[in-house]
């Protein structure tokens, strides 16, 4: 092997090492992207995310103001469930606690586990919509063909900006067993 071929071989080996380091760094970044995005959304309220644990606020209700809460439900295309809010909307006073009920039904002949993922629009209302109790806090286990009413207890903070007169609470229902299998 002459010197030119030896240098080329050395350069190729160095390039291969650099590319492998780049691939490992890209994989690491991709792996950390989801937790970083979750932290970002939690800090900024971006993406319409609300609290994920029970909370309680003790503020006097603002009876002079009415906010329309719209409930929108969707089921992931792979989830074998029916899922709907018992009412399409309700009118609330900020600072007062309210209850709503959603109904889900397992359409299969087997036990299934599902999770509801909430989102609030407009995004500026997300930090002012506080769930006290919500079926979305934990996964729900359904027996074969089981239908169940699931409660939501919430308060709209009186500090909600004045320009917001309608809040849309949207839930997407996922089959968590299928979602876990798709990530493997």
- Do residues 88 and 151 both lie within one domain? yes
Assign residue 111 the CATH number of its domain. Answer: 2.60.370.10
Percent of the chain with pLDDT over 90: 48
Task: Output the six-digit token pair for 152.
Answer: 């939501």
Q: Which domain holds residue 4?
A: 1-44
- Do residues 53 and 99 both lie within one domain? yes
**Confidence tier at 184 by pLDDT (50, 70, 90):** very low
Task: Output the six-digit token pair for 123.
Answer: 């995004």
- Do residues 31 and 120 both lie within one domain? no
Query: What's the full length of the chain, in residues?
Result: 184
pLDDT, mean of residues 39-54: 56
Pick the range with the lowest mean pLDDT from 22-36, 114-128, 160-174. 22-36
pLDDT, mean of residues 55-70: 76
* Per-residue model confidence (pLDDT) at position 41: 63
- Do residues 32 and 84 both lie within one domain? no
pLDDT of 54 higher than 50: no
Number of domains in the chain: 2
- Do residues 70 and 113 both lie within one domain? yes
Please say whether the beta carbons of 116 and 148 come within 8 A. Answer: no
- Do residues 120 and 145 both lie within one domain? yes
pLDDT, mean of residues 105-118: 93
- Do residues 40 and 52 both lie within one domain? no
């Amino acid at each position: 092997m002459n010197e030119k071929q030896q240098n080329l071989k050395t350069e190729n080996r160095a390039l291969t090492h650099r590319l492998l380091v780049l691939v490992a760094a890209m994989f690491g970044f991709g792996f950390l992207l989801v937790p970083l995005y979750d932290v970002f959304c939690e800090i900024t309220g971006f993406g319409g995310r609300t609290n994920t644990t029970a909370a309680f606020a003790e503020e006097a209700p603002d009876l002079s103001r009415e906010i329309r809460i719209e409930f929108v439900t969707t089921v992931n295309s792979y989830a074998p469930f029916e899922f709907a809010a018992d009412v399409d909307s309700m009118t609330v006073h900020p600072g007062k606690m309210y209850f709503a009920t959603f109904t889900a039904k397992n359409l299969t002949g087997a036990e299934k586990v599902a999770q509801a993922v909430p989102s609030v629009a407009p995004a500026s209302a997300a930090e002012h919509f506080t769930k006290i109790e919500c079926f979305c806090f934990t996964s729900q286990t359904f027996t074969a063909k089981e239908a169940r009413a699931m409660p939501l207890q919430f308060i709209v903070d009186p500090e909600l900006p004045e320009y917001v007169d309608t809040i849309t609470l949207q839930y997407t229902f996922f089959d968590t067993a299928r979602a876990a299998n798709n990530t493997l």
